Chains A and B, each alone.
Chain A
């Protein structure tokens, strides 16, 4: 019997048979991992198995490639803090859906895990979470091998006045170098460079840029599945805030 213990956040829950559920977690040391939770479809477990909940889990299986079973212990509930806030709830849905969409199974991503848990804890508690979410999408792209280079201009090499991102190379472009190509480039809001106070418009611009690369780079690499609708809903809600 193979057995390990870990901690992770719930991504998805599907009923399995009469009373069990197949739960998909993003764990600290084992990445995105599934397992059967006996009684997981029951009323007692319903509050525990909500997306975003932090769980301490033990996974057991006879063979490594079996789906195995989880025994779970709640560490921290998160859904209850965001159920009353449409935007934060959309943020939770987008984050869990994108992780489920993007991550390969059973491959650890400790840095992304740490960022994801921090963001999950921010949801519903602070106005700062939209920026944290935007930066999390950048981190997701980087972790999946599609990182953007926003450190210097792709044309001139200069580090100042960076206001665009090339939709083809994912590299920053300065205002001076953009020239007549400016209207074909994606926005690079200052908040993505850690500059100045964050305006809601900047978040929307940043999400347009990360959305482009999620759609044009990441999704084709994953079999050209459409991006989860939960992300589009979040973008829509944050855009309306402006």
Chain B
């Protein structure tokens, strides 16, 4: 495009690669940033630079951190013997928003997938097995997505940990809070019915 400087064009191309943004919305965002140079563009550039330089994966759990180990792994109060296995960092953040879990996490970095040739070696499963062995874990909670890939991964992990002497549990599946039966798919309804409990 001859009507825009190369630098702006590059920024638009980069922004358009972000989730939720296409070329049109990236153009709008870049224009907004340039117009609000002092309050948005410069602080954003600085924030991006800092994140790029300091944030890395926690070598123990896979969470994002700027320290050697993440806050959760560094907190001794969270070493209560419970380890929650999640697919990625977004799931860890979701669990933390709930505030109900007080143990530690293990981020796999994906799920097993025949389609994408993702095997156990591509995930952090060997690290998980070592953690369960070395950290005095009593219960492993498999908080993986209720999808075919998610549950295939959960079964695989359960087999890997079968001889480790730990309790292996998984999240319940069923009707979400605020959910109306009429709007649920038949699979969710049958899973909820199977997992019914005394009232």
Interface residues of A (CB under 8 A from B): 12, 14, 18, 46-48, 50-53, 74, 76-81, 83-84, 86, 89-90, 92-93, 97, 100, 228-230
B19 A89 Cβ-Cβ under 8 A: no
Question: 20 pairs across A/B with beta carbons < 8 Å?
Answer: A18-B19, A18-B22, A48-B185, A50-B148, A50-B187, A51-B148, A52-B148, A76-B186, A77-B186, A77-B190, A79-B147, A80-B188, A81-B190, A83-B191, A84-B151, A86-B155, A89-B155, A90-B152, A229-B114, A230-B114
B114 A89 Cβ-Cβ under 8 A: no
B114 A83 Cβ-Cβ under 8 A: no
Q: Give A86 to B153 CA distance when docked, in angstroms.
A: 10
Which of the residues A18, A93, A228, A229 comes within 8 Å of B148, measured between beta carbons? A93
Residues of B within 8 A of A100 (CB): 115
A80 B191 Cβ-Cβ under 8 A: yes
Q: Give A84 to B172 CA distance when docked, in angstroms.
A: 11
Q: What per-residue 1/0 map shows which CB atoms of B160-199 lie under 8 Å from chain A?
A: 0000000000000100000000000111101100100000
Q: Give A36 to B114 CA distance when docked, in angstroms.
A: 21
Measured between C-beta atoms, what is the minimum distance from B26 to chain A in Å? Answer: 12
B22 A79 Cβ-Cβ under 8 A: no
Task: Report the nearest B residue to A13, measured CB to CB.
Answer: B115
Task: Report the nearest A residue to B188, measured CB to CB.
Answer: A47
Interface SS majority for chain A:
mixed
Residues of B within 8 A of A97 (CB): 114-115
B119 at the interface (CB under 8 A from A): yes
Residues of B within 8 A of A76 (CB): 186
Residues of B within 8 A of A93 (CB): 114, 148, 152
B34 at the interface (CB under 8 A from A): no
Residues of B within 8 A of A84 (CB): 151, 194
Interface residues of B (CB under 8 A from A): 19-20, 22, 114-115, 117, 119, 146-148, 151-152, 155, 158-159, 173, 185-188, 190-191, 194
B155 A80 Cβ-Cβ under 8 A: no
Q: Give A79 to B186 CA distance when docked, in angstroms.
A: 10
Q: Which of B20, B148, B188 is most buried by chain A, counting CB atoms within 10 A of its CB?
A: B148
Q: Give A230 to B194 CA distance when docked, in angstroms.
A: 27
Task: Report the nearest A residue to B170, measured CB to CB.
Answer: A84
Measured between C-beta atoms, what is the minimum distance from A115 to chain B in Å? Answer: 21
Task: Report the nearest B residue to A232, measured CB to CB.
Answer: B114
Q: Which of A51, A53, A77, A83 is most buried by chain B, counting CB atoms within 10 A of its CB?
A: A83
Q: Give A93 to B119 CA distance when docked, in angstroms.
A: 14
B191 A12 Cβ-Cβ under 8 A: no
A50 B147 Cβ-Cβ under 8 A: yes
A229 B119 Cβ-Cβ under 8 A: yes
Task: Report the nearest A residue to B114, measured CB to CB.
Answer: A230
B187 A80 Cβ-Cβ under 8 A: yes
Measured between C-beta atoms, what is the minimum distance from B123 to chain A in Å? Answer: 14
Measured between C-beta atoms, what is the minimum distance from B130 to chain A in Å? Answer: 23
Evaluate whether A89 and B148 lie within 8 angstroms (CB atoms) in the complex, with A18-B20, A83-B191, A97-B114 already known.
yes
Residues of B within 8 A of A90 (CB): 152, 155
